Amino acid sequence: MFDPSGPVHVVRAPGRVNLIGEHIDYCGLPVFPMALQRGIRMTFQPRPDPEARFINRDPRFAPVTFTVAESIRPAPAGDWGNYVRAAAQAVAQRFPNLRGVNALVETDLPIAAGLSSSSALVVATALAILHANSVTLPALELIELLSRGERYVGTAGGAMDQAIIIGAEAGCAIRIDFHPLRLTPTVVPAGWQFLVAWSLVHAEKSGADRQAYNERTKQCEEAHRLVAARLGRQEDPSYPGLLAAASVEELLDVARATLSGVLLRRFRHVVTEATRVRLAEMAMARGKEGDLTAFGQLLDASHASLRDDYEVSHAELDRLVELAREAGAAGARLTGAGFGGSIVALVRAERAAEVMAALRERFYAPRGVAGDVGQHLFVAESAAGAGVLDSEAV
């Protein structure tokens, strides 16, 4: 697909693991992820015309061809090519008359595992098309453009994934604030390791779980509207505004008097998770070594909240979390949207091998995949954000 007489470029976009702050980015509340050493690698060559052609190294994903334009017709929901189209349409709405690319997509990320392979694909595509047209956008603008652009696939997501994939710094976790978007790094202490373990259950962001995700964004809005009204703060448009005006305890009192059932549980998750993000960032930054025990307890509390109040866990995620803790992790929780996908566990570096061996024996071996375990279970190494690498020979 590549013309040997022209230059070939490579863009790399990392996956991400969210350490804490789950299902609150779309409420405008800060989250605390880091980028992974695994990601999407896209080899591309500019074309002279607006056509775009994407081939995936993985034969499960059929080639995608379309014209880069302000309005691109989507393929049916769940088609991987819709992430590529989402990015192309977003950049075409910002810059007219773009030329397209020929591109080859490869990844070492587990797909649909809650590690944002889809947003990494969106970011890689956008950077490839921008580079092919010799245009650039400041990082914050690109994040806003692509987080809106990715709604093309039908998910009413927040901006966490695009923000960390574009704005990550190696060796750091990043607090992401929204409205306005701000990125604040904290160095991950040397003695800490975050393990990522896939539950073997696919979390299809663009498939069946999409409805459950979108439903939760609406429930959060509704709960916020009712609590703000009760507090006489109808003019207050946001969760950050509520949290600035009252303590979490006060908000929960008002919520108990105003909401019931599902809406009360959703609201409780959102405001307590926001507090956990703040405390987790402080625990990581404490002293030279950080407060690993405190961070671990916050991970555990986050998982309980996501399981019981937000109802996005899965029996296999609960099992992995339990096994990681039994094996000596300081704490563990589901990461990403849930409904399947992966967990993240915090361990002292010297205990990582032991915890990984326990997960291999007690989770992966009984499910028949112990031989292949490096695919599903690995140490997260905080990586830098996406970018175009130097030109390469074909």
Which residues are known catalytic residues? 161
Rounded least distance, CB 49 to ligand GLA, Å: 32
* Binding characters for ligand GLA, 11-30, by CB under 6 A (x = yes): -------x---xx-xx----
Rounded least distance, CB 161 to ligand GLA, Å: 5
Q: How far apart are CA 206 and CA 150, in angstroms?
A: 11
Verify binding: residue 210, ligand GLA, rule CB under 6 A.
no
Contact with ligand GLA (CB under 6 A): which of 124, 166, 263, 337? 337
Helix (H, G, I), strand (E, B) or coil at 11: strand
Q: How far apart are CA 342 and CA 352, in angstroms?
A: 17
DSSP string, 242-304: HHHHS-HHHHHHHHHHH--HHHHHHHHHHHHHHHHHHHHHHHHHSTTT--HHHHHHHHHHHHH
Rounded least distance, CB 195 to ligand GLA, Å: 19
**Residues near 90 by beta carbon (within 8 Å), at least 6 away in sequence:** 126, 145, 146, 148, 149, 150, 152
Interface positions, 302-331, toward ligand GLA (CB under 6 A): none
HEC-encoded secondary structure of 110-135: CCCCCCCHHHHHHHHHHHHHHHHCCC
Number of residues interacting with ligand GLA: please give it, by CB under 6 A: 11
Residue 9, beta-bridge partner list: 44
Rounded least distance, CB 183 to ligand GLA, Å: 15
- Looking only at Cα atoms, what is the longest distance across the chain? 70
Nearer to ligand GLA among residue 26 and residue 44 (C-beta): 26
**Residues near 211 by beta carbon (within 8 Å), at least 6 away in sequence:** none
Nearer to ligand GLA among residue 81 and residue 157 (C-beta): 157
Verify binding: residue 336, ligand GLA, rule CB under 6 A.
yes
Rounded least distance, CB 155 to ligand GLA, Å: 7
Rounded least distance, CB 187 to ligand GLA, Å: 23
Nearer to ligand GLA among residue 68 and residue 159 (C-beta): 159
Nearer to ligand GLA among residue 161 and residue 169 (C-beta): 161
* Binding characters for ligand GLA, 145-184, by CB under 6 A (x = yes): ------------xx-xx-----------------------
Nearer to ligand GLA among residue 18 and residue 89 (C-beta): 18
Nearer to ligand GLA among residue 43 and residue 119 (C-beta): 119
Give the start-end residues of each E strand in the chain.
Answer: 9-20, 32-46, 51-56, 64-67, 101-107, 172-177, 182-187, 192-198, 331-335, 342-348, 377-380, 387-388
Contact positions vs ligand GLA (CB under 6 A): 18, 22-23, 25-26, 157-158, 160-161, 336-337
